[in-house]
Amino acid sequence: EAQVTQNPRYLITVTGKKLTVTCSQNMNHEYMSWYRQDPGLGLRQIYYSMNVEVTDKGDVPEGYKVSRKEKRNFPLILESPSPNQTSLYFCASSPSGGRNTEAFFGQGTRLTVV
Amino acid sequence: AQTVTQSQPEMSVQEAETVTLSCTYDTSENNYYLFWYKQPPSRQMILVIRQEAYKQQNATENRFSVNFQKAAKSFSLKISDSQLGDTAMYFCAFMKHAYSGGGADGLTFGKGTHLIIQP
């Protein structure tokens, strides 16, 4: 089954404790991206990757890191999480360099930083 | 940069009624794609319908259809014969066409409309 898998689905952590949210897709898509969703703000892009070893900032990259060592994986790293990073996070993938088609979304990760 | 505006934070209609969700956008691009995504309480992002800007014909998917007005930069979603399962957040989104040039872009989303279908 074609899918984007995020883990964990729920995470509660403390300020400053490094964490990683994993994202994996089995559709051989070149383009992957991370979004955060906040009430009243919709979804905003954090980082994206056009292909292996090619990443770039989206609209709200501060406080986040990403890597793309393999085509299927695109982890989101919070080196020192802060309460303002409490949010719902989505990973998405699509073929053709991110254009010409719709994005496939993971199930979402609800992150709470206390 | 693109912007997407959904002016209705929340709407409520009776089951079986028809409802229209509005979306406007601003862009200098000529070729692009527009989407409506549904997000039910499960939080999953589900593609409802997709429109390519170079196609004049409005897209339809069963009970869902759009009214795409390119000159007015408007992209509304009509849901006919609404059902309880249509209760969800609905997001309008914009994506540049591959041949538009410039840097890579993902989706630009509106802030969403919370649609409630009453029994």
Closest chain B residue to the Cα of A56, Cα to Cα:
B104
Q: What is the pLDDT of residues A16-71, one digit of tens each?
A: 999 999 999 999 988 899 999 999 999 999 999 988 998 989 999 999 999 999 99
Q: What is the pLDDT of residues B25-37, one digit of tens each?
A: 999 888 888 999 9
Mutate to test the interface with B, among A105, A107, A109, A111 (most CBs of B within 10 A): A105
Computed from CA positions of residues B37, B6, A31, B49, in that sequence, does the dihedral angle turn out positive or negative? positive
pLDDT of residue B32: 87
Separation between Cα atoms, residue A110 and residue A93, nearest integer Å: 19
**In the predicted model, what is the mean pLDDT of residues A70-98?**
92
From chain B, pick out residues whose CB is under 8 angstroms from the CB of A103.
Answer: 106-107
pLDDT of residue A14: 97
Closest chain B residue to the Cα of A93, Cα to Cα:
B106
For residue B106, give every residue at least 6 positions away whose Cβ sits within 8 Å of its Cβ, in sequence order, or none.
A31, A33, A35, A45, A48, A58, A92, A98, A103, B95
Residue A9: pLDDT over 80: yes
Interface residue B102 vs chain A (CB under 8 A): no
**In the predicted model, what is the mean pLDDT of residues B10-23?**
97
